[in-house]
Amino acid sequence: MRSLKSFPCLVLIIVFACFLNTSYAQDRSPLRLLPTGDAIGKWHPVETARIYEGNDLFLFIDGGAEVFLEYGFRRVWAVEYQNDQEKSVNLEIYEMDDAQAAYGVYSIRTSERATEVRLGQGGRSQRDYIMFWKGKYYVSVAGLDSTSQCREGMEVIARAVDRIIIDQGEKPLVLKYLPREGLLGERYIRGFLGLSLVYAFNVRDAFRMKDAAVGIYEDQTVVFLRTGDSLEARRRFLAIQNYLKSDERFDRFHSQEHIDMVADKKDRTLCIGQSGQYVIIVISSNASKAWMTCKAIKDAL
Amino acid sequence: MNDHIDRRAFVKRCIATAAGAIAATSASKAFFGNEPPADHQLCTVVGDAYFDNTIRAVEALGGMRAFVQRGSTVGLLINSPFGSQGTYANPDIALAVVKMCLDAGAKQIVALNDIGRRYWQRSALHRKMQSEVGLIRYADEMTEVKIEKGKSLKEADISNALLSCDAFVNIPIIKDHAGTRFTGNLKNMMGACSSSTCRYFHYGGSVLNIFKGGYQNPELLAQCIADVSLVRRPNLCVVDATEILATNGPSGPGEIKKPREVIASTNCLAADMYAVRHLGLNWEELPVIRFAQQHGYGPRSLREVKIQAF
């Protein structure tokens, strides 16, 4: 009798396990995300999808892999498509650990000079590429030459991928701290390599972070570096202070109202402040504006 | 001390001196070609005819015969692995180098890294130069080399062909790179290293770092690049600064800049110092250049470089 009562549970467990297995197989299957057939018109894949996972990303994009790994990378599917004129378009679909990572990668790889396109949860395009993010996916489509055919192929394939991916996600919360007035662009970073793409600090340890928001304005750049707590933020602030004092690329170090200021070789001013769990960095060619921005943000937090 | 020498001793000294001079010249020729050009020379040509401009740039340095002797083996290290625009050395430039080497009487041309078949097809000239491309041999055997003066890299697996060829021509593209901020002549040397050596450049020797998946220190990569450049200096650098990836390097896609410039130089460091301007960079801020200078690899400033511009 006991075995009869537990039988439905057992069936449920088996069914659930099969479902999980199928879901996992679908997640790993390239066929799920890569467009084919009528969805892409006269374009067709000319190879079996290449799949790289984890550190194997290095084999695919060499040194460019490190930034993806810093954000939290799972796998990429890469396929070349051609049309009947043998024009080629490369598609790369990156599955990241979460939507914030996908947004982060997208944010540092695009630029405000690129044209916004209505793809995914945010997309941009220049002559030779289209990029967008959607949920935990970052998508890159690139033409191998600048012909109108490649351009057409990029658009067809990008739209097809957008239709296939149904995942959605939220942008990182830390971005909300960026002052909205005059904001031209924003970046989300999760480590030193991402920060290096904003400003080339040559020393890693001083800038350890949980993550950071970067705001691009007309005449300044603002970085909110988030740490674990205010004590850790204080340590980071002091470490950055020591670094700026010791690196010969910076001079004219001084402090005013607990905000440190230095100048770099390009005559830009860097202002560093700390409030709560955040270290604030403002970079500007206008020293007084940089200081006022840093102070205003510090006081507002 | 007796200053007087007899005729026999004098003749012996003359013969010894002459023999030494001949030996030195021969060694110099073996390494530099017929005539050792002055170090720190650079020529740039701007324009849309990349094949012709490459020839013109090398001619301004004395022509390929100044670097390649008749009957010699030439190793070419061509930056070719990626497919996005601005990420690989324009094959028109590489084809021009191939042509010049053959015209100079090279017996054999060896590609020092894996060049895919499709690389040459990206050039409109590839059909016309199929026979020349067909002469290129591809070598993939490696040898472990000790780098005594290396600060971070003490040994590396290096292409056999790089070590054994009579003349070595480096053909990089200048472009953005997420790790070192640019890649050019110096970093192109990684193309002649094994994948395990290249991983060391990124991860260092600690197994833990491999699992962490991150750079231990960005300066490690720069130092290793400077160190590996000690293995062998190119006889000639021919740099693609025509249509270059300005963001999202090394693999792209990203913004493309078009300086339309081909640069030929007898010194790779000088060429990199000159070329990084196209990425909006100041060479003085770049660790890989600083570390190479510390090795005495090249000029300390561009004032020490003889630059011809066309």
At B172-204, the pLDDT tens digits run 999 999 888 899 999 999 999 998 898 888 777
- CA–CA min distance B83, chain A (Å): 7
Query: Do residues A88 and A180 both lie within one domain?
Result: no
Last residue of a domain, one of A146, A164, A182: A164
Write out chain B residues lying below 8 Å of A192, CB-based: 215, 218
* B248 with A54: Cβ contact below 8 A: no
A8: confidence class by pLDDT, cuts 50, 70, 90: confident
- CA–CA min distance A105, chain B (Å): 10
Write out chain B residues lying below 8 Å of A63, CB-based: 177-180, 183, 202, 221, 250
The predicted pLDDT at position B94 comes to 98
For residues A272-293, one letter each, b for 16 or more C-beta atoms within 10 angstroms of the residue's C-beta and e for the rest, the string is bbbbebbbbbbbbeebebbbeb
- CA–CA min distance A138, chain B (Å): 13
| Chain A residue with the nearest C-alpha to that of B202 | A63
At A253-290, the pLDDT tens digits run 999 999 999 999 889 999 999 999 999 999 999 999 99
Of A64, A80, A144, the CB nearest to B250: A64
- CA–CA min distance A68, chain B (Å): 10
What was the ipTM of the complex prediction? 0.84
Q: What does the block give as tokens for B222?
A: 């720069």
How many domains are there within chain A? Answer: 2
Residue A18 lies in a domain: no
Give the phi and the psi of residue A280 in degrees, each rounded to 5: -110, 130
Query: Do residues A293 and A265 both lie within one domain?
Result: yes
At B235-287, the pLDDT tens digits run 999 999 999 999 999 999 999 999 999 999 999 999 999 999 999 999 998 99
Q: What does the block give as tokens for A80?
A: 């070349």
* B214 with A191: Cβ contact below 8 A: yes
Surface of B (84-123) touching A: CB under 8 A: 84-85
At A205-262, the pLDDT tens digits run 899 999 999 999 999 999 999 999 999 999 999 999 999 999 988 999 999 999 999 9
| Chain A residue with the nearest C-alpha to that of B214 | A66
* A55 with B282: Cβ contact below 8 A: no
Cα three-residue angle B48-B111-B192, rounded to 5 degrees? 105
Say whether the peptide bond before residue B36 is cis (omega within 30 degrees of 0).
no
Query: Do residues A179 and A271 both lie within one domain?
Result: yes
Give the phi and the psi of residue B112 in degrees, each rounded to 5: -90, -5
Q: Would you say A190 and A72 are in contact if contact means Cβ atoms under 8 Å apart?
A: yes
B26: confidence class by pLDDT, cuts 50, 70, 90: very low
Which site among A53, A88, A106, A128 would you substitute to test the B interface, given the most B Cβ atoms closer than 10 Å to its Cβ? Answer: A128
* A63 with B256: Cβ contact below 8 A: no
Last residue of a domain, one of A164, A196, A216: A164
Phi-psi region of B252 (alpha: psi -120 to 50; beta: other; left: phi over 0): left
Range of the domain at A190: 173-300
Write out chain A residues lying below 8 Å of B251, CB-based: 60-62, 64
CATH number of domain containing A111: 3.40.1000
Query: Do residues A264 and A243 both lie within one domain?
Result: yes
Last residue of a domain, one of A164, A195, A215: A164
Distances (CA, A) of A286 to A241, A270, A289, A291: 20, 10, 5, 9
Chain B contact for A66 (CB, 8 A cutoff): yes
Distances (CA, A) of A204 to A193, B16, B17, B240, B309: 9, 57, 56, 31, 39
* A66 with B85: Cβ contact below 8 A: no
The predicted pLDDT at position B218 comes to 75
Q: In the CATH hierarchy, which fold is given to the domain comprising B40-309?
A: Rossmann fold (3.40.50)
Domain boundaries, given as residue ranges, for chain B: 1-32, 40-309
Question: pTM of the full predicted structure?
Answer: 0.85
Query: Do residues A232 and A106 both lie within one domain?
Result: no
- Between chain A and chain B, how many beta carbons pairs sit less than 8 Å apart? 98
B12: confidence class by pLDDT, cuts 50, 70, 90: low
Residue A7 lies in a domain: no
The predicted pLDDT at position B125 comes to 95
Instruction: Give me the mean pLDDT over the B130-141 stretch.
Output: 92
In B17-152, which ranges are E strands? 41-46, 73-78, 108-111, 136-138, 142-146
**pLDDT above 90 covers what percent of chain B?**
73
| Chain B residue with the nearest C-alpha to that of A143 | B84
Q: Would you say A232 and A197 are in contact if contact means Cβ atoms under 8 Å apart?
A: no
Chain A contact for B299 (CB, 8 A cutoff): no
| Chain B residue with the nearest C-alpha to that of A140 | B253
| Chain A residue with the nearest C-alpha to that of B119 | A144
Q: What does the block give as tokens for B213?
A: 């998946």
Surface of B (172-231) touching A: CB under 8 A: 177-181, 183, 195, 198-199, 202, 210, 213-215, 217-219, 221
Of B83, B215, B255, the CB nearest to A193: B215
> What DSSP assignment string belongs to B112-150?
SS---HHHHHTSTTTTTTHHHHHTEEE---EEEEE-TT-
At B87-115, the pLDDT tens digits run 999 999 999 999 999 999 999 999 999 88
Write out chain B residues lying below 8 Å of A265, CB-based: 282, 284-285
Examine the pLDDT at B215 and tell me if it is beyond 60. Answer: no
Residue A141 lies in a domain: yes
Distance CA B6, CA B205 (A): 63
Of A80, A140, A196, the CB nearest to B253: A140
Kindly tell me the sign of the dihedral angle through the C-alpha atoms of A28, A29, A31, A32. negative
- CA–CA min distance B103, chain A (Å): 31
Chain B contact for A197 (CB, 8 A cutoff): yes
Query: Do residues A40 and A155 both lie within one domain?
Result: yes
CA–chain centroid gap for B50, Å, is 18
